[in-house]
Amino acid sequence: NAGVTQTPKFQVLKTGQSMTLQCAQDMNHEYMSWYRQDPGMGLRLIHYSVGAGITDQGEVPNGYNVSRSTTEDFPLRLLSAAPSQTSVYFCASRASGGGSSNQPQHFGDGTRLSIL
């Protein structure tokens, strides 16, 4: 049971480079989201998706793009990396229905990204 799988686990980029953080889940969850975790700030929502073909902005969306072409995958793209995007990125998914607000999030193990 893989759950939520993120790749890569670590990445170092130079300022201005672009890259895609991959996220896949095998639980048939409709809801998926991306967070960044910075010291003393908890997790902040970057983008989220309520189903294939539907995405929306979270709290800190600038500099990031997402797409959701399948239920399983939700990649996060950094268009032009900046040092302020150095962070740990977490992908999460959760089921819908059955009182969806009560459904817990399932998190991946994170991608540690450094921008030089």
Partner 1 sequence: AQSVTQLDSHVSVSEGTPVLLRCNYSSSYSPSLFWYVQHPNKGLQLLLKYTSAATLVKGINGFEAEFKKSETSFHLTKPSAHMSDAAEYFCVVRNFNDYKLSFGAGTTVTVRA
Site residues for partner 1 per CB under 8 A: 4, 31, 33, 35, 40-45, 48, 50, 58-59, 90, 92, 99-102, 104-105, 107-110
Detail the DSSP E strand segments found in 1-116: 4-7, 10-13, 19-25, 31-37, 43-51, 54-57, 64-66, 76-78, 87-94, 106-107, 111-115
Tell me: cis bond preceding 83? Omega within 30 of 0 counts: no
Q: Which is nearer to partner 1, 41 or 116 (CB)?
A: 41
> What are the Cα distances from residue 11, in Å, to 5, 18, 28, 61, 92?
16, 12, 28, 20, 19
Q: Which is nearer to partner 1, 14 or 28 (CB)?
A: 28
Q: How far is the CB of 83 from partner 1 (least distance, A)?
A: 22
Q: How far is the CB of 88 from partner 1 (least distance, A)?
A: 9
Q: Which is nearer to partner 1, 1 or 40 (CB)?
A: 40
Q: Which is nearer to partner 1, 14 or 99 (CB)?
A: 99
Q: How far is the CB of 16 from partner 1 (least distance, A)?
A: 28
How far from chain centre, in Å, is Cα 56? 12
